[in-house]
Amino acid sequence: MLQAIAAETKGEAYSAETATELDRVYRNISSNVGYMPAKKEVTALWAGYGLALAALAALAAISLGVKWP
């Protein structure tokens, strides 16, 4: 089944019957697969969280102030 999937997707199928063969397969795969680091700006997201929590705290303070004599 994996051979068929590999052929359909133009990939490779590996088999390993021992731990040594499995180690070799993982090394081969890791040399073929990589990653690209990406930076993402998250300042606005955290600022939005802070604003929401500040608004919630202000509403809680007003609510408590109204109930106290």
Place 69 in a pLDDT band, splitting at 50, 70 and 90: low
What is the residue-averaged pLDDT of the chain?
88
Could you give the CA distance from residue 4 to residue 29 in angstroms, rounded to a whole number?
18
Between 69 and 15, the more confident residue is: 15
* 19-49 b/e (C-beta count within 10 Å ≥ 16 → b): eeeeeeeeeeeeeeeeeeeeeeeeeeeeeee
- Polymer length of the chain: 69
Asked if residues 43 and 53 have their Cβ atoms less than 8 Å apart, the reply is: no
Could you give the CA distance from residue 43 to residue 45 in angstroms, rounded to a whole number?
5
Place 10 in a pLDDT band, splitting at 50, 70 and 90: confident
Given a cut of 80, whether residue 68 has pLDDT beyond it is: no
Task: Please give the model's pTM, rounded to 2 decimal places.
Answer: 0.43
Percent of the chain with pLDDT over 90: 41
